[in-house]
Each structure stands twice: as C-alpha cells, then as structure tokens.
Structure 1
Amino acid sequence: MTLVELTAFHADIVVELHRTSFEENWSAKAFAELITLPASFGFLALKDDQPVGFILCQGDAIEAEIITIATHPAARRTGIAGQLVTNIGTKTQRLFLEVAEDNPAALAFYTQFGFTKVGRRKNYYKHHNRDDVDALVMEKSF
C-alpha cells in the first residue's frame, strides 16, 4: 500500500470513498475547499494504484482533529485505516475525533489504536429516519 499526501486533485476520489462509508454525502467542491484550507492535511491510501481509503485532518504539529476517515468496503479490516491513523502521527503530536456512540466497529477500532474518551457531544449526529446520536470525543497522543 502507498500513502500520498491529500490534495484538492483528489477531491473526486475521496467523495466516492466517503459516500461508501457515510449517510451524509459531501460534494467534491466541499472536499476540495476543506483540503486546501491552510490547516488541513491528510493522506490517500492506494493499493495496486487504486484508491482504498483516506484521512483528512485539520490542525497543526501540536494537535489536530480527524475531520473524516473512510476505507472502501472491499478493503475494510485490512489495516488501511490503522496505517492512515498511524501516519498522521508524523504530522501532529495529539489527535482528536468525534465518533457516534452507536458505532461499535469504529469505537473498537479507535480504542485498539490508543484513543481514549475525553468528552461527549449530545445529539451531535443528526439522522433523517432515526433518533439523533451522541458523539464521543476521543483523543490520542503520539
């Protein structure tokens, strides 16, 4: 697997990867704008020259937040997300994220990679056909 620095050029690719993982879809324009913000950074994961995952963060060398991370469904549970998170540690010392409390797979993944719960955001995730869900705020130091 190869990791490349995320650029606005990758917006169309990451919008498709994101769509396979989340209910709420973002546009390529929104991704391009986020990626080009001065405090944004991330990586695109390629396997056999095909995009299989990405991570987008905002912050600096001291602390940052994962804005979004996604792995293509066919490539899940192969270590891609773990490599993306681990590689972010080369860019920052402390990493934060929000995760839906009703997402046991994501919670298990983040816990496995050393994230700990540091807070809660009530009704953070708004859903169209079901109740809103709290977000757990998690943190990891590298």
Structure 2
Amino acid sequence: MMDGSDTQSLQWRKLTSEDLQAMLVIEQAAHSHPCSSSVLLSFLNRPTAQVWGVIKGQKLLGFSIVSVVVDESELINIAVHPQAQGKGLGRQLLQQAIEQLPDTVRGMFLEVRQSNEAAIALYDRMGFIETGVRKNYYPTKQGRENALLMARDFSLES
C-alpha cells in the first residue's frame, strides 16, 4: 500500500526519464484527463523544467513539474497517488519545488481546475492569490470547465 504518513522515511529527489513509468501511473490515477507519457518525458528532458519526486522505499508517491524561464516559474503539474493523498504530500512537493528554485525567480504562476477545491485550498495556504480565470480551459466528461489563474510573488516576501 502507498502510505505517505511516515514522513521520516520520505526522500526527495529530482526525477529522470527512468522515472517516467512510475510518473505515468500516478498521473493516470490522480487526474481525470492525464498528461501523456510524451508530455511528461518532454518535461523530464527540458533543461528549464524542474521535476521533483517524493519517494518512500522504492515507490514514487508523487511528483511536481515546474518550468523556469528567466525570473518566473510556472507550476505545470503536481500529482500524488490517490492512496497517498490527504497526508500533506502535495504541500510538501510544492514547498520543495519552491525551495529549489534559483534565487533569481521572483514568482510562480499556476492554473487549476475551478472544481479542484483541495488544490485551490492548498494554493491559498501556500500564499497564492487568484489573478484571473480562463473560461472553458480544461476538458471534462461533460464538456469543459474554467481554470483559475493563481500567482505568488516571492519578491514581496522577506
């Protein structure tokens, strides 16, 4: 069973193309419209992307993908296997991703499904504010739904 509750045994590391299959399992289990293996692989191979994973034993429990361009970053994806959700791993993954950013990065942007209340609450707790809406951005089983745009300005933090 995937259990992220024992934080003493968790390890954090940058992921590589060797982690692609484990990432794909989590992506498919955690998202209604998952990214393809080719999209995940493109981020693993992109020099401007930081892909972090949380591992317990030999098992990948979750990952984050952040794109960094000059002095800005964008949270592309964060996914925790459903069996390991609800234990704070999403918050820890986001915190790890932020801590590993170059000092020159002034902020982070993200898009989140309007219906993803758990993620929105996490981003609120982590200091992100809503900056806009993209209408009909994400596909759903019934059609499309809005994306909330959120941002955190690191230059305002001391």
**Take 1:133 and 1:39, find their aligned partners in 2: how far apart are those partners?**
29
Match in the other structure for 2:56: 47
Which structure has the greater CA radius of gyration? 2
1:122 aligned partner: 135
8 A contact 1:100–1:125 mirrored in 2 = yes
- What one-letter code is carried by the residue in structure 1 that aligns with 2:120? L
Q: Counterparts of 1:15 and 1:112 in 2: how far apart (Å)?
A: 28
**What is the TM-score when the length of structure 1 is the normalising length?**
0.90
Q: Does 1:17 align with 2:26?
A: yes
Q: Which residue of 2 aligns with 1:107?
A: 120
Query: What amino acid maps onto 1:28 in structure 2?
Result: S
Q: Percent identity?
A: 28
* 1:50/1:81 CA distance change after superposition, 3 Å: same
**Secondary structure, counterpart of 1:54 in structure 2:** strand
Where does structure 2 lack aligned partners over 5 or more consecutive residues?
1-9
Distance 2:23 2:42 in 1: 13
Cα deviation 1:7-41 (Å, max 9, x = unaligned): 22211111111111112233323311222112111
Query: Within 2, Cα distance between the matches of 1:58 and 1:41?
Result: 6
RMSD of Structure 2 on Structure 1 (CA): 1.6
Encode CA deviations 1:82-109: one digit per residue, 9 max, x unaligned: 1111111221441111011112111111
Aligned ranges 1:76-115 → 2 under 5 Å: 76-90=85-99, 91=101, 92-115=105-128
Taking the aligned partners of 1:63 and 1:137, their CA distance within structure 2 comes to: 15
Do the aligned residues in 2 keep the contact of 1:55 with 1:85 (CA within 8 Å)? yes
Shift of 1:121: 0.6
What is the rounded CA distance, in whole Å, between the counterparts of 2:62 and 2:72 in structure 1?
22
Q: Which runs of 5+ in 1 are unaligned?
A: none
Aligned match for 2:147, one of 126, 132, 135? 135
For 2:42, which of 2, 12, 33 is the aligned residue?
Answer: 33
> Which stretches of structure 1, 4 residues or longer, exceed 2 Å deviation after superposition?
25-30
Distance in 1, Cα, partners of 2:106 & 2:89: 21
